[in-house]
A and B are shown apart, each in its own frame.
Chain A
Amino acid sequence: RKEVEQDPGPFNVPEGATVAFNCTYSNSASQSFFWYRQDCRKEPKLLMSVYSSGNEDGRFTAQLNRASQYISLLIRDSKLSDSATYLCALSSGGSYIPTFGRGTSLIVHP
């Protein structure tokens, strides 16, 4: 099993839709979790950290399920500008070197 797995997609959704991505991980010692957004030919930018209790930032909700070893990202009321690749990242223990998933591509169409 790969250390971090994501469905590459693409997820093709209409404006206003709700879409969710999952990211599974194999290392149960993972402690820090993040979602990054990467636009085409650009660097990744931090979207949000993922906390154990789950957290929300506007239309975006991130959750962590330690028992099943996955994190999720929910986007409500999708906008055209949400079209991008969403990368999950995690690190474990005292290491602050994150491991990235390959990303999930989201395309929001009119």
Chain B
Amino acid sequence: GAVVSQHPSRVICKSGTSVKIECRSLDFQATTMFWYRQFPKQSLMLMATSNEGSKATYEQGVEKDKFLINHASLTLSTLTVTSAHPEDSSFYICSASSGGSGNIQYFGAGTRLSVL
């Protein structure tokens, strides 16, 4: 299957700092990538859809000024959590579709963010 690389896998930071997470599609071009957040024992919640060369589409309730998304190329999308606070602590996962039949999502390994 397609490979999506995400890093860092783990971040521990102080409140108020910004954290950047990278998501790369390694063996295919992804015009669209997705960013999810997952709290313990909860489902994946879509935060935003990242479109190459254009602005991201944010889901209702997700602050676009807090979660900055940049999709600079067909293989790279970044999510920056600005001025992180303890309530932002979560598991952030990106995914991309290879564009084949069906809408199979290939996920990055996720980033576990802990804000102290």
Q: Does any Cβ of B come within 8 Å of A41's Cβ?
A: yes
A43–B107 touching, CB < 8 Å: yes
B44–A100 touching, CB < 8 Å: yes
Cα distance A34–B108 in the bound complex, in angstroms: 17
Cα distance A42–B41 in the bound complex, in angstroms: 12
Closest to B112 in A: A41
Closest to B49 in A: A97
Per-residue interface assignment for chain B, residues 37 to 60, with 1 indicating a CB less than 8 Å from any chain A CB and 0 otherwise: 000011110100100000000000
Which of these binds chain B: A44-52, A64-72, A76-84? Answer: A44-52
B41–A46 touching, CB < 8 Å: no
Q: Does any Cβ of B come within 8 Å of A102's Cβ?
A: yes
Q: Does any Cβ of B come within 8 Å of A107's Cβ?
A: no
Q: Which of B66-116 contact A (CB under 8 A)?
A: 91, 93, 97, 102-110, 112
Q: For B34, what are the chain A residues with a Cβ–Cβ distance below 8 Å? A: 97
Q: Does any Cβ of B come within 8 Å of A87's Cβ?
A: yes
Closest to B91 in A: A41
Q: For B61, what are the chain A residues with a Cβ–Cβ distance below 8 Å? A: none
The residue among B41, B91, B103 with the most chain A CB atoms within 10 A of its own CB is: B103
Given A97-B46, A103-B43, answer yes or no on A89-B93 (Cβ-Cβ < 8 Å): no
B109–A42 touching, CB < 8 Å: yes
A46–B112 touching, CB < 8 Å: no
Q: For B109, what are the chain A residues with a Cβ–Cβ distance below 8 Å? A: 42-43
Q: For B43, what are the chain A residues with a Cβ–Cβ distance below 8 Å? A: 4, 87, 100-103
Q: Does any Cβ of B come within 8 Å of A32's Cβ?
A: yes
Q: Can you name 5 A-B residue pairings with CB atoms under 8 Å?
A: A34-B102, A44-B93, A45-B107, A99-B46, A101-B43
Residues on B lying within 8 angstroms of A by beta carbon are 1, 6, 32, 34, 41-44, 46, 49, 91, 93, 97, 102-110, 112
Residues on A lying within 8 angstroms of B by beta carbon are 4, 8, 32, 34, 41-46, 49, 87, 89, 91, 95-103
